[in-house]
Every structure is written in structure tokens, then in C-alpha cells.
Chains A and B, each alone.
Chain A
């Protein structure tokens, strides 16, 4: 048994998880229309790869290409691409974007991807290729492309951590998966550990998820060659955050601005593990995910397995519809999720939870706030050991450079500071705003640098052509003035010669040419 460390700060939160774990995961039938956003993770519009009206199979690439890191956007089932529409995106901006409308034909016919049962014999590249082909992105919430995650740190990973610590209240999709398909998660973990040549593989669960711990332990015992170790971590929010989990289990800290691979660790979510197992062992592309539908505002809270592209309204209707208490629809949990104003939004890789909150069920984010009294409570709970009271001050007064000095970029937006703030200041929203401003500023600087280079290159080119022109003109002028150009001399000679010849021929002709015409 590993000795665990305690990460700094954090909160003990009321989980509210029982409401959605009373029933097993239900498969949701296909909707009439699936909406697949043609937007890549960097927010750029993806190219549509097929003409409208095409028939596609489950796993056919239908979009992508504007971000080389992202896998292709795949069709979640077989059917016809009916149209491209503007549809609201599952994004905190509430903006709409280019979206494929896919009408399923009900056959659910997949593309042919051979099952790679003997993955032990395959190269790392072949396995990463499969993960990319199957369109796998992280299912923990950030939707980072898994193949890209595996590609960058090759041969540098000693510890693989399978993240089953689902610390945010209300969210239970990982817990449900661990209870029902621990075998699949472990198979995925073995594949990932083999691929990364990791010497140690740990699966982390919170110590109060008794059913999930039981299921995973049973599955682990069923394997003869037991190389995966189960780690029970204390249920403190946000222990499931990558950096906090690494600190808890290994005692190592991810450097500021770095990634876990910098210290030889790689974390993947349990759902992603199961997706890897399905892609490699069954040749199945990632086409659906488990979504927790919960809160006082929905009739039957539960976990459902939903195809990507299914509108939220259909998912909620499948769970019995709204109750009278429903006041707010949140994608994600109450801490890190964002509220949306419509249920006409498709399920995407990053949507792990639909929280339909009743009034007063969760903390009101819009409540009026009072001035900061500098009590420092936020700094004592910040799991990144930041000083939110200082960063808040600088972001609020648009002094982003100063906020960066206080490591604004390291904020993981967990929302712990909001919960403890006695003045109810929406600190995390200030930090989110500041971080997007920083990102845009950086992008602006990059674009300016490009423009500068293009301007200077053009200047060099124009100067060069100007010089060339001037030089050519000068050359012509001097040659003319000196009259030494042999070609011109020769031409003049030739012309003179020709003229003399002509005169000789013309001379003997008698002058009575005109008399003939007078007859």
C-alpha cells in the first residue's frame, strides 16, 4: 500500500451522488436527428469532409482538419448527412456554430476496424494510430485528444494513473462505469500501460465509493498477472484534479505551466480507458458516452449511455422530463460546470453531466457580492496554493500582468474559493475571464509577429526588385551612351547592307512603269 500525501487546501463537499446511482446505466435509443458540431477543440471551425446527402457509417470521419492535434470528428452511427446548420454549441459562450445534421438509419453499421486482440505484439505507433482512428478524446471533461497525449511523452512515463476519483458533487458517470464494467477499464489500462511502457499503473478511487471499490477489486483479483494497483484516495474536492491526484498518490508536484509528463506521469480517465479497450479489442470507434442526468429538476435522475450529437432535450425526456422544480440547466457539475439557456444543445465528448438544478439546490452564482474583506479564506482552500484575493484584485482592475505574476495561469478553475468567500465574490469567473483575456492577448501577439515578418519580408522583396530595376536601367543607359554594344552595331551594319542591296536592285528598273497603266 502506498502512503498517501495530502494536497494543499480543498473542501469537504456534500456529494449528492446517491440520487443518480440507484439504477444501472441505461442505453438511450437513437434520436431522430443527431447534431454533430464541426468545431474543434481550439474553437476553430472544422472542414466538412463529405457532401450533404452522403451516407456514413459509424466511425466515418465527417469533419476535422483545422487543428492537426485533434482526431477527425466521427459519425456516431450510420445514416445520412442531411444538412449543415447553425446550432448552439456545448460551450460556455452559448455561441452557435456549424453543425452536421445526421439522420440515423437505425442499422448502426460500423466501419471496418479489425479487432487487435494481440495488442502485446503491436508497436506503439500502431496502437496510437488505432486510438486516433477511433476518435478517442479524454472523457473526464476536458476532451483532450488521447492520441496526442500519448504521442508527446513517449519513453518518458514511469507511472500511469487511471483517474477514477470523481470528486465533483452530483457527477457519477465514472462511478457507474467502474461498478458495471471494471473489466473493460482494466483492459484499457493494460493497453495504455503497455503502450507507454509504464512500470507502474495505479487506479485511483475515492475511499467512500464502496461499490466501485468492490467491483474494481473483484476485477483485479480475476487477473492472474496483477500489475495494476488500486489506490483509495480521501474524498476531498478536488482530489480528482490531475495535479491534486498526482500529489496525493506520488507526492510529486507538476511544475507550474507544465504537464504531468514532465515528471514522468500520465493520467487518463476511467471512461477513456474503457474507450481505448473498446477501440483496440473490439475495433469500435468512440461514438457514445455515459452522461449523469441529475438534480431536483429531472424526474428520474440516472446515468445514461448517449450517442454523441443527441440533443439535451431528448436525454432529459428519456429521463422522465423536467419536474416543476427545474430552474437551471448546467453542463457539468455545480462547481466547474456552466449553465446554458437552452436544451437544444448536442451531447459532446466534454459533457459528462446534465445538472438540472432546482431553485436553491446549488449555490447561487449570481447572488450580489460585497467588497473583499481580505480574510484570506480563499487562499487557505486553493488547491493550487494561489492567492485568489490578490489575483482577483489585479484581474478586476485589468492589471493582467500583475495577475500573471501571481500565477493566474495556474488556476484550475475548481471554484473552491467561490464556496468559502464570505462576500460571495464570483472569484472563479474573474479568473476565467482573465485567463481567456490572456489567451486572446497571446494570440494577438502571435498574429502581430506574423504580420511583422510578412511586412518585413515584403519590404525586402520590394527593395530587391527596385534595386534590380535600377541596375538594369543603368546598364541599358550606359551601353547606349557608349555605343559599344556589338549586337546593336551588327544590326546597324546589317540594315545598312540590306539597304545598299535594295538600292542596287531597284536602280536597273526602267522608269517607264507608269506608261502601261495609261493604256
Chain B
């Protein structure tokens, strides 16, 4: 009888301790969609077939979409997604586009007619301008998603490679084969 009592008290106590520590030491985990979204490059280009990075992240978390549909993120993003989700790495699905070096949109202001179509298309509000007035790109905010190109009726938007400056210069790695 005593043994039963001791074991009951002991177990109840331990269960209480466990419940308390579970409450107290609870680690806030990010929802999986958030974690996936934070690994995506936020270009918002829609090449994955979803209207932006968050919808794609939601689709991945529901296992509706594969992890290799993000060309701006390239293989690095696929790799980090695979690591996060415990999946096998797979090469980029070229049906959704190929990886390109970072670029930024540029409006030829001479040719712009002020139709505002690109402003409506820009997913990150990086174009300023008004109806029948010249538009221009806020270069620092442009993600180079190319979504402004198709709607432009006068084809005055170009995507330019980001120029090399000391700010984005990468110190070269010594020749790897030599070592």
C-alpha cells in the first residue's frame, strides 16, 4: 500500500514539474511558413507560379509546391530549404526560369508616357510617378523581379546588371585548385 502511495505521489509530483517546466521553458517556435518565407529571397517575382514569396512559402508548407521553383534564390535557397524541411536537395526546376545575377530595373524617362501600368505591377512599390507624369525606379528598393516589363506599352523599362562598387565588391577567394 505504501509503495503504491509513494509511487503515486512521486509520479504526480514529477508530472506537475514536467507540466510546469513545459509552460515555463516553452520555446516559441516560428510557424513553418514564416521559417520558409525567411529563406526565400523576397524578390516577389512570381516565377514559382504563386503571387509572391509568402504564398509560395504557404504552398511549400502545405506540400503543394516543390522547393526548387525559385530562380532568384538559386541553388542556395533550394539547399537551405532542403535543410530546413529535411528533404533531398534537387536542382532548380528550369520550367520556372533560370538563376540570373542580381539586376535592377531602369526606366528610360525620355520614352515613358506616364501610364502607371508598371506602378500597379510592382510588388514592392519601388516605382514612383503619377498619371501622365514621368515614372522612375527607386533603385534601392527594386528587387529586379521583371514584373514591370510586360505591362509597359512603350517598352521603356530595362533591367540592368548591378554595377560593381566597393560596397558590393567581394574579395576574391584564392585559386581553389592551387590548394
Query: Who on chain A is nearest to B172 by CB?
Result: A433
Q: Give per-residue flags for A430-472: 1 if the beta carbon is below 8 A from chain B beta carbons, else 0.
A: 1011111100100110011111101111110000000000000
Q: Is A368 an interface residue (CB 8 A)?
A: yes
Q: Is A101 an interface residue (CB 8 A)?
A: no
Q: Give per-residue flags for A50-68: 1 if the beta carbon is below 8 A from chain B beta carbons, else 0.
A: 0000000000000000000
Contacts A43-B166, A455-B123 given; indicate if A448 touches B173 (C-beta within 8 A): no
Q: Cβ of A432 and Cβ of B165 under 8 Å apart?
A: no
Q: Is A93 an interface residue (CB 8 A)?
A: yes
How far is it, in angstroms, between the C-alpha of A433 and the C-alpha of B167 when the chains are bound? 14
CB distance from B17 to the nearest CB of A (A): 34
How far is it, in angstroms, between the C-alpha of A449 and the C-alpha of B179 when the chains are bound? 37
Residues of B within 8 A of A456 (CB): 54
Residues of B within 8 A of A458 (CB): 123-125
Q: Cβ of B169 and Cβ of A95 under 8 Å apart?
A: yes
How far is it, in angstroms, between the C-alpha of A483 and the C-alpha of B67 when the chains are bound? 55
List A residues 388-438 near B (Cβ within 8 Å).
395-396, 425-426, 429-430, 432-437
Q: Is B68 an interface residue (CB 8 A)?
A: no
The SS class assigned to the A binding surface is: helix
Contacts A44-B167, A95-B164, A440-B168 given; indicate if A455 touches B52 (C-beta within 8 A): yes
Surface stretch bound by A, among B39-47, B129-137, B148-156: B39-47
Q: Give per-residue flags for B20-63: 1 if the beta carbon is below 8 A from chain A beta carbons, else 0.
A: 00000000000000000100111110000000111000000000
Q: Cβ of B41 and Cβ of A448 under 8 Å apart?
A: yes
A interface, how many residues as a size bin?
Answer: 35 or more
How far is it, in angstroms, between the C-alpha of A440 and the C-alpha of B41 when the chains are bound? 14
Q: Which of A91, A371, A433 contacts B173 (CB 8 A)?
A: A433
Q: Cβ of B167 and Cβ of A43 under 8 Å apart?
A: yes
Q: Is B158 an interface residue (CB 8 A)?
A: no
CB distance from A427 to the nearest CB of B (A): 9
Q: Is A29 an interface residue (CB 8 A)?
A: no
Q: Cβ of B179 and Cβ of A425 under 8 Å apart?
A: yes
CB distance from B41 to the nearest CB of A (A): 6
Q: Cβ of A432 and Cβ of B171 under 8 Å apart?
A: yes
Residues of A within 8 A of B44 (CB): 451, 455
Q: Cβ of B169 and Cβ of A454 under 8 Å apart?
A: no
Q: Which of A368, A371, A436 contacts B169 (CB 8 A)?
A: A436
Q: Is B141 an interface residue (CB 8 A)?
A: yes
How far is it, in angstroms, between the C-alpha of A456 and the C-alpha of B53 when the chains are bound? 10
Residues of B within 8 A of A451 (CB): 42-44, 124, 141, 143
Q: Cβ of A452 and Cβ of B166 under 8 Å apart?
A: no
Q: List 13 A-B contacts (CB under 8 A).
A: A370-B179, A372-B179, A429-B171, A430-B174, A433-B170, A434-B173, A436-B169, A436-B170, A443-B168, A448-B42, A452-B53, A454-B124, A455-B44
Chain B contacts to A: CB under 8 angstroms: 37, 40-44, 52-54, 123-126, 141, 143, 164-174, 176, 178-179
